[in-house]
Amino acid sequence: MSRFRNNLYTVEAIVFRDHAHRYIRSDDGTLFSNDRKTKILVADLPEWYVYGRYHKRFGYMSTKGITDLRYVPNKFTNHYLKDDSLYVAYGGKIEDAPLPNTGAFYDRLIGYDDIVWGGEIISVLRGAQIYSNYDISSIVEQLKEKKEWLVNEYPDEFGPERWDFDVDACFSEPFDNGHPQKYYAITLDNYFTPSIVSSSKRYYGTLQEIESFIDSLDQDQFSETVNAFRSFKKGKKAVTHHVAYAEKPLLEPVTLISENYQSLKERSWDFINIWDCIYTMKLHTVFMDILLIKDGDEYIRCIKPKIYGFCYHSNAHAEDHWEPVHNAWGHPGIVLFDDRKEPTVLTSLFLPEKKFSDVKAGVDALYSEDISLDPVCEDIFADG
C-alpha cells in the first residue's frame, strides 16, 4: 500500500490560537494533511504532486488518478482564473446536481473530490494531462473562451494593448511541478588541514550547481573527478574518485528537510585558522541561502552566501589596515569572486556550517541569526 493516501499535503496548517486563525509549520519539516501533521517530507512526494496554493494553504496536490475535471468560469467579475473553479474527481464522473425544490442554495455539481482556484488551475490541468493521461483539450478551449469574453466585456482592462495572455503557451512550455530541486553531497579534498595531513570534506548542491563547479575545475589537474562526473551524467550512479588517498563516492543523494533565506548587515568576528592565528573579519552585507539537509544520520545546516564588503585584518597588517578578500587558497572552484559591479565573494556550493542530532533543533535553527561564516573563511585561508 502506498504511504501517500491523501491527495493533498500542505506545507502549513491553519489553527485557532489566541482568538485568531494562524498559519503554522511543523517543527521538523514534515507536511500536513487536513491540518494534521504527517511523517512525510516534500522530498518524499512523487512527482505527480503539484505545488500551489490550495484552500488558503501552500502545498502539493496529486494529479495522478484523476478521472474527471470540470472547469467553471466566473463571468460575474473581471478576473481571469482568480475566481474560476476547477472541480477534480479521483474516481467516477462529475455530474450536474439536481435542482432542489426549495430554491435554496445548493452545490451545482456532485461527484467531485476537490476544487482548485486561480493559477493552480493551469498547474493541475497540466499535471492531469501528464500523470493521468487526461484529455484537457476541451477545457483549454474553455480557457480561451473566457479570455475572449474578458477582452470583449472589459476592453479597458483586457484590451490587446493592456493584456495578452497566451493560453497555448501555458500548455506548451516545460512543466514545472514546483518541487524543490534534489541535492547531492560531493566529497572533495579538505584544504583546511595542515599540508602534511589529508582528509575529506563534503559540500552540497543541486546537480546543476555541482556541474557548474565541475566545469570550473582545471580539467587536467582534476581529470579523475571530471570524468567521474561525466559518467554520472550518462547514468552510471556508483562513480568514485580519489580523495585524501582513498577511493570515495563522488556524489551521494541527500534529503532536503527545509530551507530559508537570510540577509545580515555589518558583521565582524574573529576567525581562528588551524595554526591558531587570528583573522578579524568584517563585512558590509551578506545574503544567504540556508538549507537543512539530512546526510546519513546527521542533520546539517548548510550555507551558500553572497558577501559584500568582505575584508580582514591580522597582525601582519598595520593597525588600521583592512585587506579586501580577493583570493582563496582552499579547494579550487568553491569560493568565487565577482567584481563586475562591486567586490563580491560567493560560493559555488553549499558549505556545511553546523550539525544537529535532532531534526527539530535543526529546523528551529534555520531562522537563527547566529550562523557562522567560518566555513567560508576555511576555504579562503585553507592551511594558511
What's the pLDDT score for residue 383? 79
State residue 105's pLDDT score: 56
Question: What's the pLDDT score for residue 125?
Answer: 98
Instruction: Please give the pLDDT value at position 161.
Output: 81
Close Cβ partners of 230 (under 8 Å, ≥ 6 residues apart)? none
- Cβ neighbours, 10 Å, residue 370: 6
Q: Dump the DSSP string for 157-176.
A: HHSTTT----HHHHTTSPP-
Which pLDDT does position 103 carry in this prediction? 56
pLDDT at position 123 is: 97
Helix (H, G, I), strand (E, B) or coil at 78: coil
Count of residues in the chain: 384
Query: What does the pLDDT read at residue 193?
Result: 83
pTM: 0.84
In sequence order, the 6+-apart residues with CB closer than 8 A to the CB of 289 are: 259, 261, 303, 304, 305, 350
Q: What is the mean pLDDT of each run of 10 residues along the chain (384 residues)?
A: 87 91 93 95 96 97 98 91 95 88 70 96 98 97 95 88 88 94 96 81 97 96 96 93 94 95 94 90 96 95 97 82 90 93 93 95 90 95 81
Q: Tell me, what's the pLDDT at 317?
A: 72
Three-state secondary-structure class, residue 226: helix
Residue with cell 583592512: 322
Bridge partners for 85 per DSSP = 72, 117
pLDDT (0 to 100) of residue 304: 98
